[in-house]
Structure 1
Amino acid sequence: MSHLLLEADSIKALVVIDTMQRFGIDHYFEHQITQCLKNQHSQPLLYNNNADDGHLYAVSLRFRLLRQRGFHVPADVFNRFKGENIKFKNALSEDIRGLMALQEASHLCIEDDGDILDEAFLFSTNFLTARLPHLDDFQASMVQNTLHYPHHKSLPRFMTNHYLKHHDLKKDWEKLIANLAIMDFNKMQRIYHEEILQVFKWWKGLLSKELKLARKQPLKWYIWSMATVTDPCLSKQRIELTKPISLVYIVDDIFDVYGTIDELILFTEAINMWEFPETKKLSNYMRMCFKVIHETTHEISNVVYQEYGWNPIDYLKKEWASLCNAFLIEAKWFASGHSPKADEYLKNGVISSGVPMVLTNLFIRFGYGEFVGTTDIEDIISSVATILRLLDDLGTAKDEEQDGKDGSYMEYYMKEQEGGSLSDGRQHVLDKVSLQWKLLNKHCLSPNTIPTSFKTACLNAARLIPMMYTYDDNHRLPVLEEHVKFMFSNIKENLMG
C-alpha cells in the first residue's frame, strides 16, 4: 500500500490519500502520508498553470490535504480560477469533480484567508446545487454528500458505510483500501461494543429511584466519547470520558427540569465548596447527584495521578463550579423573567454547554497537565463550545421533548433587532458558527502549543455537534440514528432514551 503514496505520480498519490481518509484508515499510514505531502509541498512547480496539476480538482485537493496536515498553503492559489471581474469563472460550472473538490477545500478556511474561500464556497455551492437535477443518480449522490457532509466537518467512521455504498470501486488499489476499511471497521466495532457494555454496567450501578432524570441515554453519551477519541488504543479514556459527559446531562436536567431556584442555589453552593450538602437542606436526588459527581471526579484524578504523577483535582473542581454557576445564572434569569442581552447569554452559554468541563477532563486525561488553563487551550475549547451552544439553540425542533427552562441565543438576538425576520436571525447564527469554525481551523491547522491529539479531539467534537442537534419533527435525530444503527447493530437501546 505504501508504494501507492511514494511511487505514484503526484495527483494519484493525493487521490489515494483522500480515499484512505474517507475510509477512515489513514491513521495506519501516518508516516507515509506525511512524507508524501512533504514532498508535494516542496515541489517548485506545485501549482503550474500549464500542467494537469493546474486543474481545479488537483489544486483544490492538494490545497485541502496539505492544509489539514499543517502545511502552509495560501488561499490565493485559487485566484487563477477567477476572471477579469475578480470572480470565479462561470466556465468552471461544467467541472463537477473540480467543484466538489473546491467545495471541500473551502471548509478549511481561516480568518487570514480574506474572502477567497468564502467566495469559493458560495460559487461551488450555487453551481453544484443548480446542476443536481441534471446529474445521474450516482453523480447526484456524490454531490449531495459533498454539500451535506464535507470531509473536513464530518466523522470518517460514521461516513464509511455511505462511501462504500456510493463510491464506484473500479481500481484494484481502491478495492484493497475498501477491504482494509471493512476489516478496520469490524475490529473497531468489537472494541466499541465492549466499551459500551462497560458504560452500561457503570450506568446501571448508578441508577436509583431517587435520581430524577429527564434523559436516560448512556449510548448517546458514549457516542460523544467514541466520536471524539478515535485512537483504537484509548479505550479507557473513552469509557472514563463518558462519565463526566453523562453527569453534565444529568445536572442540566436538574437545573432545567426538576430543581426549584432555592434548591439550585444550595446545590451550586455545595459544588463550589466541594462538601456534601446537609441532609435536610437538599432533595435526595440532588444529594445522590453530588455524591456521584464527587466520587467520579476523584476517581479520574486518582487515575491521572497514578499515570502521570500529578493530581488535577483542583482544576476539575473548578470546572464543576464554573458549570453549575453558569447553570444557576440561567435558572435565575428564567425565574425572574429577565431577558439577557444576546452576547451576555452566549458568554454564559459557552460555559453551560458543558464543553469546557468535558474537554478539560479529556485534556487532563491525556496527560497534558502543564498546559491546563493556557490561552491556546482555552480558546480552542471556547470555539467548540460556542459552536455547540449556537447550533443547540438554533434547533429545528424542541430538544428531546423536554419541558425545560432553556433560553436561546437567537431568541435574545431577535429581541434586540427591530423588524428583523427569522431567516435573518437564523443566518446571523450560522454566520457566527462559520466564524467559530474559522477560529477552530486556525487553532488546529496552524503551529501552536496545542497537542495534536487534543486538536483532533476538538475537531471531532465539533464535527459531531450538527448530528447531535439536527432534530426532525418527531424530536428524533435521524442522521445520527442511522449511523449508530450501523455502528451498533446488536444494541437494542433507543438512542433517544
Structure 2
Amino acid sequence: MMELYEASYWATKGESILDEAREFSTHMLELYSTHQHAQLGPADEATTLGLASYTLRHPIHRSLPKFNVKSYLGISHGGSTKHSDEEDILIDLARLDFNVNQSMHQQEVVQISTWWKELGLAEELTHARNEPVKWYMWPLAISTDPKLSEERVELAKPISLVYLIDDIFDVYGSLDELTHFTDAVDRWDVTSANQLPDYMRKCFIALHEVTNQIGYNVYKRHGWNPIPSLQQAWARLFKAFLVEAKWFKTGELPSTEEYLKNGIVSSGVQLVLVHLFFILGRGLTQRNVELIGGENPPVISSVAKILRLWDDLSATDEEHSTGNDGSYLDCYVKENPGSSIHGAREHVMEMIEETWKQLNNESLSPTTPFPLAFNRAAHNLAKMVALMYGCNEVVDQNQSAPRLKDHIRSILFESFP
C-alpha cells in the first residue's frame, strides 16, 4: 500500500488512474495508522506503523532525503527491533556519510556568510532580509552531489542577491528609482549606476562582480561564456519586479493570467536555474542555451509556478488582511465575484497539483532537451518550495513536521548520533 501511495505521485497531466490510487492508498494508510495501533506489538509499532505514517508525511517524489535521513532511520531502524549485521553496517555507514557531509556543508556556510558579510549591504539595508544560512538551503537541496561543493557556494550568491533585490523593490526604492535601477541592469552598464542611490549602486556592483566571477569560472571549467545569458536573466527578473512594484504602488490588481505570467519570472526560479545550468556545465549546446534563455521552457516554468503559488499561499496565512497584498489569491477573488479566500486557496492547491503533473511530464519525456542532472536539480528545487515556505508544517492534529529552522539545525549543526 505504501508503494502504491508513492507511485501515485508520478501522475501526469491527462490521466486520472493515479489520482484514484492516491486517494485510495491515502485512505487505507490513514485507517491503518489510526485503527491498527492497538494490534501492534512494541517492536513492530516503531517500524510498521511508524513507516506508514512517515510515508504519508514524506512521499519520496515530494521529499528531500538529505533533510529526512535522521528521522527515517530513527523510525525504520529504531526502537528495540533487532537488526542483522548487514543492516547495522549500513546504518553506521549512513551516520558516517551524514557527518562527513555535514562538515563540508559547514565549510560552505562559512564561505557564503563571509562573502555576504564582506558585501556590507545587509548592514546598510537594515530592513532587508539577512539570512544567508537559510538561503544556502536552496543550493544544498538543489545540488546534492558531494562533489559539487564549489558549485553550491557559487549558486548561493545569486540566490542571496535575489532576496536582497526583492526587498529593495518591496521596501526601499521609489518607482522612479526602481525604473532607473532596472534600466541600468538591462543595459548592464556600471557607469550608469552612478546616478542611482548609493545602496542601489553598491548592489549593482555586487551583482556585476558575482556574474563576472561565475562567468569566468564557467568558461574556465567548461569553455563557454555564459555572461550574456546571465545578464539577460537578471534583466528579465528586474523587469518582472518592476511590473509588480507598479501594481503594488498603484493599488491595481491584474488579471490572474497577467499576474501568473509575470509571477513565474519574478519567482526567481528561471534566474537560479539558468545560473545552475551553466554552473553544472552539462548539455551546453547552442540549442539548449537558447532554450533556457528563452520564454521559460516547461521544466523551468512548472517549478516557477509551483514556487509562486506556494509563496502566495504562505503570504495569505501570515499577511492577508485587506485583500490587497497583490497575491494570486487576491487576483482570483477579484476576477471571480462571490468567491472567498478559502475558495481561492483550494483552487490554488489544485493548480499546484496540476503543475506537479506537468513537471512529471517533463521529467518522464524521452525528448527532454536538458541533461538528467539538470532536470533532477529542477525537481529538487520544486521539492524544497513547500519546506522553505512552511506550508507543510501541520501534518495532522497530533503530528507536526519539522520546520525549516529545525532542518537547518539538524543538517548543519547536530551530528548523527
Please classify the TM superposition score into its range, dividing by the shorter chain length.
0.7 to 0.9
Q: Which runs of 5+ in 2 are unaligned?
A: 38-44, 395-400
AA paired with 2:150?
K
| 1:229 CA displacement | 0.3
1:128 aligns with 2:9: no
Moved more, 342-351 or 174-183: 174-183
1:214 aligns to 2:116 (yes or no): no
Distance 1:406 1:243, change over 3 A: farther
Contact 2:333–2:339 (CA<8 Å) still a contact in 1? yes
- Equivalent residues of 2:102, 2:411 under 8 A apart: yes
Cα shift at 1:478? 5.0
**Of the candidates 274, 279, 284, which is equivalent to residue 369 of structure 1?**
284
Distance 1:365 1:213, change over 3 A: farther
Kindly state the Cα deviation for residue 423 of structure 1 after the two structures are TM-superposed.
3.2
Could you tell me the TM-score, scaled by structure 1's length? 0.73
Residue identity matched to 2:406? E
Deviations 1:206-233 (A, max 9, x none): 1144345521011011110111001111
Equivalence for 1:24: none
Question: What's the offset of the Cα at 1:422?
Answer: 3.1
Q: Percent identity?
A: 44
What is residue 13 of structure 2 aligned with on the other side?
Answer: 111
Structure 2 letter corresponding to 1:120 = A
The 8 Å contact of residues 386 and 436 in structure 1, kept in 2 or not, is answered as yes
CA–CA distance in 2 between the matches of 1:369 and 1:254?
33
Q: 1:167 is matched with which residue?
A: 76
Say whether 1:397 aligns with 2:317: yes
TM-score w.r.t. structure 2 length?
Answer: 0.87
Partner of 1:428: 347
* Kept in 2: contact 1:210–1:288 (CA 8 A): no
Match of 1:460 in 2: 380
Structure 1: give runs of 5+ residues left out of the alignment.
Answer: 1-97, 492-497
C-alpha RMSD over aligned residues:
2.3
- Residue identity in the other structure for 1:391: W
1:187 equivalent in structure 2: 100
- Contact residue 350 and residue 386 of structure 1 kept, 8 A: yes
Partners of 1:301 and 1:312 within 8 A in 2: yes
- Match of 2:257? 343
For the pair shown, the structure with the greater C-alpha radius of gyration is 1
8 Å Cα contact 2:218/2:279 also seen in 1: yes
Corresponding residue to 1:470 among 390, 393, 397:
390
1:490–1:159 distance in 2 versus 1, CA, 3 Å = closer
Corresponding position of 1:384:
303
* 2:372 partner letter: T
Report how far residue 193 of structure 1 moved: 1.0
Pair 1:319 & 2:220 matched: no
Q: CA deviation at 1:425?
A: 1.6
- What residue is the counterpart of 1:407 in the other structure? 326
Distance 1:416-1:318 versus aligned 2 partners, 3 A rule: same
The equivalent position to 1:442 in structure 2, one of 361, 364, 378, is: 361
Query: Does the Cα contact within 8 Å between 2:181 and 2:193 map onto a contact in 1?
Result: no
Deviation at residue 406 of structure 1 after TM alignment: 5.3
1:156 to 41, 65, 70: 65
Deviation, 1:187, is 1.4
> Does structure 2 retain, via aligned residues, the 8 Å contact 1:256–1:406?
no
The match for 1:484 is 408
CA distance in 2, matches of 1:127, 1:418: 38
Q: Distance in 2 between matches of 1:130 and 1:418?
A: 39
Aligned residues: 385
